[in-house]
Every structure is written in C-alpha cells, then in structure tokens.
Amino acid sequence: MRKYKTQMEAAKKGIITREMEIVAKKEKLDPNFIMRKVAKGEVAIPCNIMHTSISPEGIGDGLKTKINVNLGVSGDCNNYENEMKKVDLALKFHAEAIMDLSNYGKTNSFRSKLIKKSTAMIGTVPMYDAIGYLEKDLLDIKAKDFLEVVRAHAKEGVDFMTIHAGINKRAVEAFKREKRTMNIVSRGGSLLFAWMEMTGQENPFYEYYDELLDILREYDVTISLGDALRPGCLDDSSDAGQISELIELGTLAQRAWEKDVQVLIEGPGHMAMNEIAANMKIEKRICHNAPFYVLGPLVTDIAPGYDHITAAIGGAIAAANGANFLCYVTPAEHLRLPDLADVKEGIIASKIAAHAADISKGIKGEADKDIEMAKARHKLDWNEMFDIAIDGEKAREYFESTPPKDRHSCSMCGKMCAVRTTNRILAGKKVEFDVVTADCE
C-alpha cells in the first residue's frame, strides 16, 4: 500500500519513489535532486497510477527537454489504425509524450489501446471529448458535466490533461478589450469561451477547480494548465489577454500544489524571436518556476507547409531560455491532419530543437553523442555516423542515393574531401587526384 497519493505528496514527505529513481537514472542525476524538485513543483513526473506500461519521464528545470507528439482522429479523418501507426513512429523516435487529441465519436476504445501500448506518457484535452462522451450539444452541457469527462480520462490512465482553467471572466474581459487580429486559436479555449458566452456562466474548470483537483489527485494526473489565450499570430503575442491568463495560471498552479497535484504550464503560440526569451522568464517568475510546455513558438506566420521549421527555431530558443517541454509541430500545421510523413518530420524537427537547447544549457551528457559523431566523421566511418544520427535511416538513404566511387568520401567532394585530405597529410601520405581532361564545346 502506497503511503502517498501522488509523486508530489511523496516528495514533500521525503520519499523517493520508484518513478523518481527511474527519472534520476535517465537524467544521470541524484534521486534526491529529483525528489526536491518535485516537492517544489519545479519538476513534474506525469504518471497515472493506472498507466502500467509507462516508462516515467521528468519535465522541468535541470532536466533534458522533452517533446510531445499530437495525434488523434477528426470528423474528416477518422482512421484509428493510421493513428496507431503514428504512435509507433513516436515511440520509435523516442518522443517522451503522446497527446490524443481525438475529437470525433467515441474515443475511449482507441485511447485505452494507446495507454496499454505506450511507454510514453499520455495526455488529453477532455474538453475535446466532452460533446462525444456526453452526447450533448455544447449549450446543453452543464458545468459539472465537464468533470465527468475528466474523471473518465483519469480512470483510463491518462497521465496529464490540458485543462483551460485560466480563461475565467477576468481573462475574457482583457481579451475582449484587446481586439486581437486572430482572436482565440485554442480549440479547447474557444469551446469554453463559447460555452461561457452562451450560458453567461463562469468557466466550470475555474469555478469547480477544487473538485477538479480532487479527481486528478486520486489518480496522480498532472494538470497541464492550458493557454486558451495563446497568440495565434505574431501580431497578438505578449498582449494583455495572454499575460492576464498567465497570471491566473500562476495562482492556479499554487492551488494545485497545495493539493499535491503536479503542474505544467502551457505557453505560446506564435511569437517573434526577439520576444521568446522574455516570455520564458515571465512564465518562470509569474508561475513560480513551474515546468513550461510550449507549442513552438512559431516565429513567422507565412510558412504554411514548413511550420515544423518555424516551430523548431522557436522551440530551440524557448528551451534554451527556460522552456522544458516542446509540443511538436508538423508541416501540415494550419492545413490538414498530418499524415505519417508529416508526423516523422515534426518529431525529428522537435528532437533537434530540444537537443540543441540542452547542449546550450549544459545538460549532463547531452553533448556526448555530438562528440561521437565528430569522431565518426573524422574516421569517415559512415555506418557509425548512421548509427549515431537522430534519423540514421534518412542519412543512409541520402548517402546511398548517389554513391561515391571512393567510400571514404561522399559524392559532393569526392577525393577533395577536406577530412580525407587532412587525414592523409597528417598520416604522412600524399594527396593525389585522378586528373580528367574534359572537352569543352
């Protein structure tokens, strides 16, 4: 029988849990360091007691930057078999989290299979599932009905849930005054805003926040406090709506910690590069160093089809300046439900951003693979390079697509390869070339 309900309660009692030990081993850190960080709320270990297949991960300051992969069906694309293939991709490339954002039909059967299979932590947005689960139109849903959906997801084994509790009436007033270019771009936030405006009532997740926390505590579900008012374009970034909601999230984080519920804070969104560092510092200050989970940020609005790149640029800057958890973005962002190729591109771009940021932060062991790659390149050992690469299959495919005559170089430089030339000279050998005289017409 556990002497604690949640990881945070255990940490406050000075108990190092099995999950903390696993995280410490992965991070090459002392378990006591992890325990102290969890107790303060600066590290979260999302790990539902019902998710038995999980390999626990820590999210927060001093740890490696983690990435999340979004998937799930919609009304236009409802092939669950295809979504499970995306799960396989996410696990293959070591994504630490998968969010099921399904918003069509009865989603629990897919989610149950996902939770049973996945070693990665699983997240959801219960608001997306409310209409299908409750079989009611939005206007007909009662305030406490939303808590039923939260409980259902918790029972299934969901490790963290995005709950847009910060978009209360005060935050809505700030949003309306601002007269944004893009208004609300959060799907869950827009649904709550619509429900509040149609019913005239307060946000049910804010009004019944204590009851919500009791449900999450029972299953040790981490609350990911959603940014309903995140900017959806550069013109709306860092405005009164975004910041007023962030202030609410800081208070809600403290209330969750008082009940031993772990917390993530969600952040922007779209944002120019010169604003990113300041936004990371503001979140850490206002939200008491809670782990920060960011979507992008996307650093330009004019690259549809390439938004995995705009997000990776922003994500690397964000993580280097304090963000702890990156939500991947695919080339299909803003355009369609991503296919398998899109998902892979999004995962790799996000992994690159996270790794680059961790090197800049001096995270223990993160530069080791880069040193290994440099040594393999020095030896011109292609197979070793492919083994070390984030996506060795793609690297090998590129190399083999135009094979060089000399395997000790690539087809771009051939025998003029700088590494080959220098290695031969330092080894006391001559550098010679096959001189070819071409006829010019």
Distances from the Cα of 395 to the Cαs of 374, 376, 389, 391, 401, in angstroms? 15, 14, 8, 7, 10
Q: Is 293 assigned to a binding site?
A: yes
Residues 120 and 182: beta-carbon distance below 8 Å: no
> Is 413 annotated as a binding-site member?
yes
Beta strands in 177-262 (DSSP E): 222-225
134 marked ligand binding residue: no
Nearest to 7 by CA among 311, 222, 199: 222
CB atoms within 10 A of CB 337: 18
Is 327 annotated in a binding site? The answer is no
Q: 99 labelled as ligand-binding?
A: yes
The residue assigned the tokens 């995306």 is 86
Residue 60 parent element (H or E): strand 59-60
Residue 70 annotated as binding site: yes
Question: Per the annotation, does 408 bind a ligand?
Answer: no
Sign of CA dihedral 389, 390, 393, 398: negative
Q: Say whether 228 counts as a known binding-site residue.
A: yes
Q: Does the annotation list 47 as a binding residue? A: no
Q: In angstroms, what CA-CA distances link 204 with 137, 164, 222, 417?
A: 16, 10, 19, 64
Whether 80 has a binding-site annotation, put simply, is no
103 assigned binding-site residue: no
Is residue 232 a known part of a binding site? Answer: no
Residue 416, annotated as binding a ligand: no
Closest CA to 161 of 94, 244, 222, 116: 222
410 is in an annotated binding site: yes
261, 6 Cβ separation under 8 angstroms: yes
Is 398 annotated in some ligand binding site?
Answer: no
Binding residue per annotation — 269?
Answer: no
Instruction: Find out whether 128 is annotated in a ligand binding site.
Output: yes
Quote the CA–CA distance of 390 and 379 in Å, as a whole number.
19
Contact 86, 117 (CB under 8 A): no
Query: How many residues make up the chain in this entry?
Result: 441
Q: Is 230 annotated as a binding residue?
A: yes
Annotated binding site: 70, 99, 128, 164, 186-188, 227-230, 266, 270, 293, 334, 410, 413, 417
Annotated binding site for [4Fe-4S] cluster: 410, 413, 417
Annotated binding site for substrate: 70, 99, 128, 164, 186-188, 227-230, 266, 293
Annotated binding site for Zn(2+): 270, 334
